[in-house]
Structure 1
Amino acid sequence: MAFTSFLGRVLFASVFILSAYQEFNEFGVDGGPAAKALKPKFGVFTSHVQSHAGIQVPEIEIKHLVSAAIFLKGTGGILFIIGSSLGAYLLIIHQLIAIPILYDFYNYDSEEKEFNQLFIKFTQVRFS
């Protein structure tokens, strides 16, 4: 049973570790493609937070946000494999930060086409 548990942790964490490795290899000077894709979504997120919550979001360079994501996914994945609960917490923190930025459900009404497309991407449901 211990091997099955270890194998499950390896398979689960491999998604995060491989993603962090790919982002690290493509990082470059400006944060790479991840920063280019994240920049408009982060702008929408910050304007939404500022307008609805009245909280001033500090200026953050996107490449620093990408490097933090690489750290959280890579370190969290490795620690999760060896059975540390700190690794699980790091992966949860990454998800709690990334989900509201990448999947902005709050900008669409549930009846809109964009909401359904975003929801399908979020849940990874494929209809063939």
Structure 2
Amino acid sequence: MQAPSTSGGRQKKGTAPRSPRAQTPGQKKKRRFKPGAVALREIRHFQKSVGFLIPGAPFIRLVREISYALAPSIGRWTPEALMAIQEAAEDFLVQLMEDAMLCAIHAKRVTLMKKDFELARRLGGKGQLW
């Protein structure tokens, strides 16, 4: 004769069967996505977008602050000039990040590190002082 199995469809003594959590009638359970799914969705969203990635007002303030520090005589900017500077700055940053990501992938990593940006700048000849 065999001893009875402890897991043969019976529940343990002293434990109550689990019941689903009681939710209030008007409350819906919050959707939980797998780790990384939201990040990939955001990447696809920003790849499809054609607008600026950097907010305009803080960027314009920064341009005015830097231009005043370098050349105080330049006090006025046309909106087209500011848009052109923002377009060039965003293009430069996106290209630098793409190159840095390729460096990280080449090193068999998925995390960007400071050394990836430094290598991308050196290889691309970007970001060097004039």
TM range (shorter): 0.3 to 0.5
Give the TM-score, by structure 2 length. Answer: 0.34
Give the TM-score, by structure 1 length. Answer: 0.35
